[in-house]
Amino acid sequence: MPTLPERPTLKDFQKYVEELELERGFSDQDILTKCLLLGEEVGELFKAVRKSEKIKLDSNSDKKYIGEELTDIIIYLCAIANRCNINLEEEFRAKEEINKKRIWI
């Protein structure tokens, strides 16, 4: 069973997701499948936000929690990045350097 260090980096999360996918039998899913699953999780996040904000929901719908849905999204983001050989931590830092130079109005 994979484990995360006490203070994980994004690289640690990516390695963890790689190991959990192997353990759970998901490593053969392609990038399109992962993108579709990510889209489903984003929809579940929106439903959890609706619930949190007390916006009317179908009473028969599953009860979702924002934290759980955000976690699912991180897992799928890491899985997609792994399939594309992208180091999310490096990309995050590089993108923030670009954002720091932008003028936000």
Distance between CA 47 and CA 43 in Å, rounded? 6
Helix, strand, or coil (residue 89): helix
Enter the pTM of the model.
0.87
Terminal alpha carbon distance of the chain: 47
103/50 Cα distance (integer angstroms): 32
Domains assigned to the chain: 10-100 (1.10.287.1080)
pLDDT in tens, the chain (105 residues): 999 999 999 999 999 999 999 999 999 999 999 999 999 999 999 999 988 888 887 776 666 789 999 999 999 999 999 999 999 999 999 999 999 999 988
Instruction: Look at the alpha carbons of 21, 30, 75, 98 in this order and tell me if their dihedral is positive or negative.
Output: positive
Cβ pair 31, 84 in contact under 8 A: yes
DSSP secondary structure letter of residue 62:
P
Nearest CA to 74 out of 89, 95, 53 is that of: 89
